[in-house]
């Protein structure tokens, strides 16, 4: 299992993580600007983290084939 993580395309995953961050960051900043309570605004950050985790799992599963 450790070998799968070693052979994972980390550069592509990091690139995707940065690309995914743009819309989430924009929504987060708009919510904060509107005066949305931070607890609700951080739900966008949680969605971003979930999206990044899903991408990592997809790449991990694809690496097993």
Looking at the predicted structure, is the pLDDT value of residue 41 above 80?
yes
Distance CA 55, CA 50 (A): 9
| Average confidence (pLDDT) over 34-50 | 89
Q: Please indicate whether residue 2 or residue 44 has the higher confidence score (pLDDT).
A: 44
Which pLDDT score, from 0 to 100, does residue 65 have? 66
Burial of 62 per CB tally in 10 Å (0-12, 13-18, 19+): exposed
What Rg do the C-alpha atoms of the chain give, in angstroms?
15
| CA distance readout (Å), 10 to 14, 17, 58 | 6, 10, 13
pTM for the full model? 0.74
Distance CA 65, CA 58 (A): 11
Which pLDDT score, from 0 to 100, does residue 1 have? 65
């Amino acid at each position: 299992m450790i070998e799968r993580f070693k052979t994972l395309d980390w550069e592509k995953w990091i690139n995707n993580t940065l690309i995914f961050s743009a819309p989430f960051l924009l929504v987060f900043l708009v919510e904060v600007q509107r005066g949305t309570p931070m607890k609700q605004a951080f739900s966008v950050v949680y969605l971003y983290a979930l999206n990044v985790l899903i991408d990592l799992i997809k790449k991990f599963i694809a690496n097993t084939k």
